[in-house]
Amino acid sequence: MASAPFNPETLVEQLQAVAQSSRFAVLRLLARHQPFGLGAGDIARLIAVPHNTLSTHLAQLESAGLVRSRKEGRRVVYAVDRAATDSMLATLGRCLDPVDMDRPSMAIPALREQEEGRPRYSVLVLCTHNSARSIMAEALINREGQGRIRAYSAGSRPRGVVDPEVLRLLSGLGYETDGLQSKTWQAFAEAGAPGMDFVITVCDNAAGEKCPNWPGHPLVVHWGIADPLEAGTSNAERREAFRIAYRQLSARVAAFVNLPIDQMGPETLRSELAQIGRLEGATALALGQDVA
């Protein structure tokens, strides 16, 4: 099939549309929910972006032809235009690939490792009881990392069971929950434990505890958010607290997995991870810390 004529203005507009973290997160989210798409409210909730800001982002993506909208009753649903995104990537590839050069193909290491089933980076997420926040973060990183980043979670004093509200929330969002377990962090400090590149604490108590000596000398950072188990007294209040915690963790994970880790020096990476920990909902400890 013949390639469509190259239009540099169209390509530039499309690249400008995705060259912003929130719009890129929208596009990735809609790609996971194709072909049906999501309503604006669901998109705003899942990537933790205010509705008025999201409207601007969606308008730019739609103007670039990467996203289409349709009416379903009183609701507007947005879906990724897969043909347009595929065309954008193919066009960009042709622009950067001089056809007159006869050279062997080169595999990108991260992509090659993903194809062979080996994650490039490993992350351990910690909280005291390993029953709620760290479990949600583990599930989020494993889905958003798409094989490039592998997450585990553990606790200093694990409850031994995952909170049922966490399982309901994650299941309702399409996560596989059978493998989620509440376990001790000592399992990741023993001989033969998988080496970690990053250790992330998501509760202030765990951040203040003396941690084991982790194999591999990982980079440690604190992303403290409020404990949803301590919010309110009614079931409705607790469910809303879990949804808020999920949204806050989702925003942090989206920022994390989109970092160009391979291209960043240790100090720059430390600074970026600390900044991620200061996103909306950060505890006083997370806001006040520099780098662990």
What number does CATH give the domain 8-95?
Answer: 1.10.10.10
Most confident of 8-17, 52-61, 227-236, 242-251: 242-251
Q: Which residues of 117-141 are buried (b: 16+ CB within 10 A; e: fewer)?
A: eebbbbbbbbbbbbbbbbbbbbbbb
Task: Enumerate the domain spans of the chain.
Answer: 8-95, 111-288
As assigned by CATH, the class of the 111-288 domain is alpha beta
Q: Which of 153, 146, 7 is nearest to 88 (CA)?
A: 7
Question: In percent, how much of the chain has pLDDT > 90?
Answer: 42
**101-145: pLDDT as tens digits:** 333 333 333 433 444 556 789 999 999 999 999 999 999 999 999
Question: What's residue 194's pLDDT?
Answer: 83
Q: Could you report the per-residue pLDDT of 179-221, keeping only the tens digit for each?
A: 999 999 998 988 778 889 999 999 998 887 887 878 777 999 9
Q: What is residue 192's predicted lDDT score, i.e. its pLDDT? A: 79
Q: Note the pLDDT of residue 2.
A: 42
Structure-token pair, residue 133 = 């926040």
Average pLDDT for 248-270: 90
Predicted pLDDT at 129: 95
3-state SS class at 17: helix
For residues 244 and 187, what is the distance between their CA atoms, to the nearest angstrom? 30
